[in-house]
Amino acid sequence: MVADTVRTWAEGWAVSRRCPAPVEKPWGLYIEVVGSAREVGRHLLPEVDVSLVRAAALSVTEPRTWLKMPAEPERIEPWLPAGWAMVWESTGHLMVTDLAPSEQPPPAGYTAEVETRGDVIVMRARDAAGERAAQGQIALVGEAAIVDQVVTEEAHRRRGLGHFVMRTLANQALERGAHLGVLGATDDGRALYETLGWKKHATLAECAYRAQG
């Protein structure tokens, strides 16, 4: 179910970002976001209807608080009270896959570095000079691995590093007993993940509280 996937994603995202665990609210979950200039907290709605969206939005008094939910943004925008704005450019995609092992040597000229921090596994690809060229990480939640912060530096794109990072992370997750992969993707990220067999589970609408002027 989409609602269960949203909850798994929320829990893993909090672990990955070293934030407090999600707190139950009448409309879903709330995560206090630590160390971000962009947001102070986020409400995640596993299920969506007008009463839940408005209840979550009206509970907010602090700017830079976000609402995220599995829905098309066009459906959500008319429900938002004053002070809220749909962040169209941040609309994303909730994606899942059944993890599978693969042989994935690094592209020529690159090496892999894997670091474990509790339930978070960080993978970095470095160039011949030892500089970071790409990285990503997963947070382990039961039998799920939540993928987060996958990025390839501009100078190293279109060399297969994205595939290398994702497949290395999948292998690491499988070694630790995970079988399901979950992530929130941008449009660009979705294109990469679909080539690796990930499937879109739902659109992720995102809106932010700017405060009333």
**pLDDT for 65 beyond 70:** yes
**pLDDT for 80 beyond 70:** yes
Model pTM score: 0.95
pLDDT value of position 104: 82
**pLDDT for 137 beyond 70:** yes
Pair 168, 114: CB distance under 8 Å: yes
Dihedral of alpha carbons 162, 3, 23, 87, sign: positive
Establish how many alpha carbons lie within 13 A of residue 130's alpha carbon, considering only the half-sphere containing its beta carbon: 0
* Residue 210, phi then psi, degrees to nearest 5: -100, -10
**pLDDT for 102 beyond 60:** yes
